[in-house]
Structure 1
Amino acid sequence: MEALEDTLRRLREAFREGRTRPAEFRAAQLRGLGRFLQDHKQRLQEALAQDLHKSAFESLVSEVAISQGEVDLALRSLRTWMKDEPVARNLVRGQEGWGGCLRPLGGLHGPSPRLPLQATQMDSAFIRKEPFGLVLIVAPWNYPVNLTLVPLVGALAAGNCVVLKPSEISRSTEKILAEELPRYLDQSCFAVVLGGPSEMGQLLEHRFDYIFFTGSPHVGKIVMAAAAKHLTPITLELGGKNPCYVDDNCDPQTVANRVAWFRYFNTGQTCVAPDYVLCSPEMQERLLPALQSAITRFYGDDPKSSPNLGRIISHKHFQRLQGLLRCGRVAIGGQSDESERYIAPTVLVDVQAAEPVMQEEIFGPILPLLTVRSLDEAIDFINQREKPLALYAFSNSSQVVRQVLARTSSGGFCGNDGFMHMTLASLPFGGVGNSGMGRYHGKFSFDTFSHQRACLLRSPGMEKINHIRYPPYTPGKLRLLLLAMDERCCSCTLL
Structure 2
Amino acid sequence: MDKREITKAYQSQKQYFNHQTVASVPERIKLLKVLKQNIKQKEEDIIAALDEDFKKPEFETLTTELLVVYKEINLFIKNLKKWQKPERVSSDLINFPSSDKIFHVPWGNILVISPWNYPFQLAITPLIGAIATGNTVILKPSEYAPKTAQILEILISEVFKPEVCQVIQGDAETADYLLDLKWDFVFFTGSVNVGKIVSQKIAKNMTPHCLELGGKNPCIVDKTAKINTSVKRILWGKFLNAGQTCIAPDYLLVHENILNEFIESLQKNLHEFYGKDAKESENYARIISQKHFERLVGLLENQNIISGGKYADNELFIEPTLVLNPDLESKLMKEEIFGPILPIISYKNEEDLEKISLKNDKPLALYVFSENRTFQDKMIQKYDFGGGVINDTVVHFVNDKLPFGGVGKSGVGNYHGKHSFNVFTRQKSVVNRKTYLDVPIKYPPYNKTVLFKKLLKFFR
8 Å contact kept, 1:238–1:271: yes
Residue 83 of structure 1 corresponds to which residue in structure 2? 85
Residue 52 of structure 2 corresponds to which residue in structure 1? 50
Residue 454 of structure 1 corresponds to which residue in structure 2? 429
Residue 135 of structure 2 corresponds to which residue in structure 1? 160
- TM-superposed CA distance for 1:477, in Å, is 3.6
Task: State which drifts further: 2-11 or 76-85.
Answer: 2-11
Task: State which drifts further: 77-86 or 319-328.
Answer: 319-328
Q: How many residues align?
A: 458
Pick from 122, 137, 146 the counterpart of residue 112 of structure 2: 137
Pick from 27, 30, 34 the counterpart of residue 29 of structure 2: 27
CA distance in 1, matches of 2:249, 2:59: 21
CA distance in 1, matches of 2:82, 2:447: 45
Residue 191 of structure 2 corresponds to residue 216 of structure 1: yes
CA distance in 2, matches of 1:320, 1:255: 29
8 Å contact kept, 1:379–1:407: no
Describe how 1:321-332 pairs up with structure 2 within 5 A: 321-332=296-307
CA distance in 2, matches of 1:474, 1:81: 44
Amino acid at match of 1:10: S
Amino acid at match of 2:273: F
- For each residue in 1:188-234, what CA deviation from the matched residue of structure 2 results, as whole angstroms up to 9, or x when unmatched? 21111110011111111111000000011111111111111111101
**What's the secondary structure of 1:28's corresponding residue?**
helix
Residue 184 of structure 1 corresponds to which residue in structure 2? 159
8 Å contact kept, 1:30–1:75: yes
- TM-superposed CA distance for 1:428, in Å, is 0.2
**What's the secondary structure of 2:193's corresponding residue?**
helix
CA distance in 2, matches of 1:48, 1:200: 22
Residue 322 of structure 2 corresponds to which residue in structure 1? 347
- TM-superposed CA distance for 1:186, in Å, is 2.6
8 Å contact kept, 1:14–1:20: no
Residue 310 of structure 2 corresponds to residue 308 of structure 1: no
Pick from 271, 292, 299 the counterpart of residue 296 of structure 1: 271
Residue 229 of structure 2 corresponds to residue 254 of structure 1: yes
Task: State which drifts further: 181-190 or 397-406.
Answer: 181-190
CA distance in 1, matches of 2:156, 2:96: 54
Amino acid at match of 1:51: D
Describe how 1:315-394 pairs up with structure 2 within 5 A: 315-394=290-369
Return 5+ residue gaps in structure 1 as ranges: 93-117, 487-495
C-alpha spacing 1:226/1:393, structure 2 compared with 1 (3 Å): same
CA distance in 1, matches of 2:444, 2:264: 79
Residue 394 of structure 2 corresponds to residue 419 of structure 1: yes
8 Å contact kept, 2:441–2:448: no
Residue 426 of structure 2 corresponds to residue 467 of structure 1: no
**What's the secondary structure of 2:143's corresponding residue?**
coil
- TM-superposed CA distance for 1:281, in Å, is 2.4
Task: State which drifts further: 23-32 or 215-224.
Answer: 23-32
- For each residue in 1:285-326, what CA deviation from the matched residue of structure 2 results, as whole angstroms up to 9, or x when unmatched? 111110011111111111110000010001111111101112
**What's the secondary structure of 1:211's corresponding residue?**
strand
Residue 175 of structure 1 corresponds to which residue in structure 2? 150
Amino acid at match of 1:168: E
C-alpha spacing 1:161/1:331, structure 2 compared with 1 (3 Å): same
CA distance in 1, matches of 2:292, 2:19: 45
Residue 413 of structure 2 corresponds to residue 476 of structure 1: no
C-alpha spacing 1:119/1:364, structure 2 compared with 1 (3 Å): closer
Amino acid at match of 1:68: Y
Task: State which drifts further: 373-382 or 318-327.
Answer: 373-382
8 Å contact kept, 2:39–2:155: no
CA distance in 2, matches of 1:351, 1:470: 74
- TM-superposed CA distance for 1:403, in Å, is 0.7
**What's the secondary structure of 1:180's corresponding residue?**
helix
Amino acid at match of 1:482: L
8 Å contact kept, 1:387–1:410: yes
8 Å contact kept, 1:468–1:477: no
Residue 201 of structure 2 corresponds to residue 226 of structure 1: yes
8 Å contact kept, 2:160–2:166: no
8 Å contact kept, 2:401–2:417: yes
8 Å contact kept, 1:26–1:157: yes
Pick from 73, 76, 100 the counterpart of residue 74 of structure 1: 76
Residue 41 of structure 1 corresponds to which residue in structure 2? 43
**What's the secondary structure of 1:478's corresponding residue?**
helix
Task: State which drifts further: 48-57 or 181-190.
Answer: 181-190
- TM-superposed CA distance for 1:88, in Å, is 2.7
Residue 407 of structure 2 corresponds to residue 432 of structure 1: yes
Task: State which drifts further: 367-376 or 317-326.
Answer: 367-376
- For each residue in 1:102-135, what CA deviation from the matched residue of structure 2 results, as whole angstroms up to 9, or x when unmatched? xxxxxxxxxxxxxxxx863xx2112100000000
The structure number with the bigger radius of gyration is: 1
Q: Calculate percent identity across the aligned residue pairs.
A: 35
C-alpha spacing 1:461/1:165, structure 2 compared with 1 (3 Å): same
8 Å contact kept, 1:246–1:394: yes
- TM-superposed CA distance for 1:473, in Å, is 5.5
Amino acid at match of 1:472: Y
CA distance in 2, matches of 1:186, 1:25: 13
8 Å contact kept, 1:273–1:419: yes
- For each residue in 1:146-180, what CA deviation from the matched residue of structure 2 results, as whole angstroms up to 9, or x when unmatched? 10011001101111000111001101101111123
CA distance in 1, matches of 2:194, 2:265: 38
8 Å contact kept, 1:391–1:414: yes
Amino acid at match of 1:63: E
- TM-superposed CA distance for 1:466, in Å, is 3.3
Residue 176 of structure 2 corresponds to residue 201 of structure 1: yes
Q: Structure 1 length as normaliser, TM-score?
A: 0.90
CA distance in 2, matches of 1:40, 1:473: 73
**What's the secondary structure of 1:231's corresponding residue?**
coil
When the two chains are superposed, the root-mean-square deviation of aligned CA atoms in Å is: 1.6
Task: State which drifts further: 355-364 or 179-188.
Answer: 179-188
C-alpha spacing 1:480/1:466, structure 2 compared with 1 (3 Å): farther
Larger relative contact order (Cα-Cα within 8 Å, sequence gap ≥ 6): 1
CA distance in 2, matches of 1:221, 1:481: 50
CA distance in 1, matches of 2:412, 2:211: 5
